[in-house]
Amino acid sequence: MGKHGYILLSLYCILLFGYSLIGGRPLTMHEARLPQTTREMVSSGNWHDWIVPKSGGRPWVERPPLPHWITAAITAPFGGIDTVWKARIPSALAGLFCTLLLASMTSRLFGRQTGILTGFIQATTFEFFSYSWLAEDDIFLALIIYSALAVFVKLEFSDKSYSSHEQETMTLDEGETKRKESINPLGKRPFLVLLLFFLLGLTNMAKGLVFGTVMALIPIAGFLLSTLDWRRIMRYIWLPGWILFALTAAWWPYVAEQLSPGSYDVWHYDLFGRLNKGYLAQPWYYYLENLPGIIAPWTPFCLLGLGVSFMPMLGGDIFKIGHLSRKETGNKVPSIMICAAMTSKRAAQALRFVWAWAVLTIIVFSLSQSKHHHYLLHVTGAWAILGAIGLRWFWEKLANLPKIITNPLIGLVLAIAGLSPLWILKDKLELSTNWLTALSIFIICAVFLLFFAMRARKSALALTAFLLGFAGIAAFFYSFVAPKTDQTIEDTKFLQAVKDHVPADAPLLINAHPRGGMDFFREMFYLPEQTVLLHNETYLMQDKYISKTIYLVDRSSQEQRLAAFGSVTIILQSKHSRREEEHAGKLTLYKIQISKTLKTFPRLPVNPMQAMSREDGPYLNQQLPEKK
């Protein structure tokens, strides 16, 4: 792709993804899980906790530990994860490397310009840049999947598989059947084949079991079957590779089950619950409904790329994009290929790989009852490639469109129309007039420059104007609009104020009862590190709390129930809590003088299903204290 391409993409990704570090948004409920379990892993001092992530000492095996290890390693030079900006550094870096990998593999498939353009489209695709902002596991799985697919593309679309003599005496198409390697299932293979199997196994270490492996295998298997080339397919019918895959994929589930018996029940519940048990069930067309928003703002060009690449993907004529160089042809003539280095057959094969990734993956995952928009994060790369193809096709046709379409005055009208809703809702959204004025001037200038560049046929200037405009809009909404609808703002203020109301030597506890969902991750992250997580309120009936004064963060609806444990006083309360109607009240700090006459219970360990709130226990949540 060239060093300048890598530098430009890197700088833009650092600008766009790095803004989340300084944008001021608190961690979301789901976002807090990874940094909090990582912080607990690092501070535990027990090697078991580096294998089985914990939440308040309870096994949390829903997610494997690889993202925790990456997060711990990246944040260690900064003193660990004690602030939001540190927690988001690993995700921003993962988004950066995903973008560079995708641009690199696209350059190999379709040429340098299409590769760089694909990188910029990927970075600005809504679902992708959103998860590059969030401290969640999904972007780490995307990084592993992109790495595996990049290795596969290098294997299948590299001339280095052939000797120099063969390269001189054969066409690229003929080379597909002249690989210099054994097809024996036990024979020799290139190192990259071994690396591919390792990366496929590593997908089992980044999110849920099996999910990532299937997501990576669908485009690979779909492409290989589309070639009908048995020799090509036999490259991957290789016993040593599959053994490495099995070892890489299976070691963690095996060890985790030994360290935390019952982990298998969680994985069984997640996997088969998603397939046919109604867990997160959605209609078959769910992904078709959500795809336009996931690949926004490039949706029109992605769909255009899908359309114009259909016949070439089947082996028809390749549409005109770019020019062959004088060195390659002796003349500068219009190219009938997407990439000058590829024959028509080679281009068709590249498009089949992209289609298998973009379309076949969605078809297969639509067969499952469970569907969620973030599952499609890992196919945004394929749609970014289609978006680049569609955009380049559109740019070639732009010269034939009426000049009025590219008139900068039309751009000014569109910019003003787009900004109007913000000005109309300015007071309701409590937007600063100065900041909104600055944004308006910035967007009007960017849009005017975009239309000017389109009219003057300056593609680099047009792309620059769009990318800068996108970054400005994204930053403004992130810092000034989104917080107005963020239900965690007041809870965050409450949690940050708790430490000022609790004596340094007093126990501070959190009730992890499921009536608050997974909010306890956020509570644990924002509260002092020595805060103790209770599996449920019955865990107050331990000898170490009897007749003691403790401080407990719980929901306001719990006051009457907590009164059974002793005298209760409300010390502090959030002004508004996330889903307070659904989860029974506001977050509240209680001061409780535990009764001397409570019947005590030993602190029983919590199994993985109980930790995930999928089983009651160890004590029933409805059990009230009994007097001695």
* Cα(353)–Cα(415) distance, integer angstroms: 38
Apex 226 CA angle, 222 and 230, nearest 5: 105
Domain count, the chain: 3
| Beta pairing, strands 508-511 & 549-555 | parallel
Same domain assignment for residues 120 and 140: yes
Tell me how far apart the alpha carbons of residues 322 and 477 are, in angstroms, rounded to a whole number: 37
- The phi, psi pair for 25, rounded to 5°, reads -75, 135
Using alpha carbons, select from 61, 49, 53 the residue that is nearest to residue 257.
61
CB 555 within 8 A of CB 525: no
Among the listed ranges 371-375, 415-419, 577-581, which one has the minimum average pLDDT value?
577-581
User: Within this chain, do residues 245 and 301 fall inside the same structural domain, yes or no?
Assistant: yes
618 contacts: CB under 8 Å, gap ≥ 6: 535, 604, 605, 606, 610
84-110 and 112-123 helices cross at what angle (nearest 10)? 150
Interatomic CA distance for residues 434 and 442, integer angstroms: 12
Q: How many residues in the chain?
A: 628
Shared domain check, 353 and 264? yes
Would you state the structure tokens that stand for residue 592, as one six-digit string? 């409780």
At a CB cut-off of 8 Å and minimum separation 6, what does 544 contact? none
What the block records as the tokens of 198 is 């390792």
Q: Are residues 502 and 408 in the same domain?
A: no
Say whether both 115 and 65 belong to one domain: yes
pLDDT of residue 272: 77
- The pLDDT of residue 345 is above 60: yes
Check residue 605 and report its DSSP letter. Answer: -
Whether pLDDT at 214 is above 70: yes
One-letter amino acid identity for 622? Q
Distance in angstroms (rounded) separating the CA atoms of residues 568 and 572: 12
| Any domain includes 174 | yes
Rounded-to-5 percentages of helix, strand, coil across the chain: 60, 5, 30
Q: Are strands 58-59 and 587-594 parallel, antiparallel or unpaired?
A: unpaired
Comparing CA positions, the residue from 518, 65, 68, 61 lying closest to residue 267 is: 61
Flag whether 556 is in a domain: yes
Give the confidence band of 331 by pLDDT, cuts at 50, 70, 90: very low
The domain of 464 spans 400-485
- CA dist 595 and 591 (Å) reads 13
Q: Give the β-pairing of 54-55 and 58-59.
A: antiparallel
Same domain, 313 and 450: no
Query: The whole model's pTM is what?
Result: 0.90
Is 628 a member of any domain?
no
pLDDT at 322: 45
Distance of CA 238 to the CA centre of its chain: 31
Beta-bridge mates of residue 511: 534
pLDDT in tens, 530-566: 899 998 888 888 888 888 999 999 998 888 888 989 9
The verdict on residue 621 lying in a domain is no
CA 543 – CA 564 distance, rounded (Å): 16
Element (H, E) at 550: strand 549-555
Which of 485, 513, 539 marks a domain boundary? Answer: 485
Please name every residue paired with 488 in a beta bridge, in sequence order, or none if there are none: none
Both 344 and 475 in one domain: the answer is: no
The token pair at 144 is 């592993």
Look at residue 344 and tell me whether its pLDDT is greater than 80: no
pLDDT of residue 242: 96
Last residue of a domain, one of 460, 485, 510: 485
Are 314 and 347 a contacting pair, CB within 8 Å? no
Same domain as 107, residue 132: yes
Q: Is residue 620 part of a domain?
A: no
Residue 123 has pLDDT above 60, yes or no: yes
Amino acid occupying residue 49? D
Beta-carbon neighbour count of residue 284 at 10 Å? 11
Check whether residue 480 and residue 339 sit in a common domain: no
Token digits of residue 27: 């961690």
For the stretch 242-266, pLDDT in tens is: 999 999 999 999 999 999 999 999 9
Distance of CA 324 to the CA centre of its chain: 38
Greatest Cα pair distance, the chain, in angstroms, is: 97
Question: Within this chain, do residues 140 and 274 fall inside the same structural domain, yes or no?
Answer: yes
Residues 448 and 536 in one domain: no
Cβ atoms within 10 Å, residue 484: 12
Work out the pLDDT band at 317, boundaries 50, 70, 90: low
Q: Do 505 and 446 have their domain in common?
A: no
Residue 426: other Cβ atoms inside 10 A: 13
Is 412 inside any structural domain?
yes
The pLDDT of 202-217, averaged and rounded, is: 92
Q: Of 343, 373, 396, which closes a domain?
A: 396
Is residue 575 included in any domain, yes or no?
yes
Local confidence band at 525 (pLDDT 50, 70, 90 cut-offs): very high
Q: Residue 190: left (phi > 0), alpha (psi -120 to 50), or beta?
A: beta
What residues form DSSP beta bridges with 598?
Answer: 627
Cβ(392)–Cβ(117) below 8 Å: yes
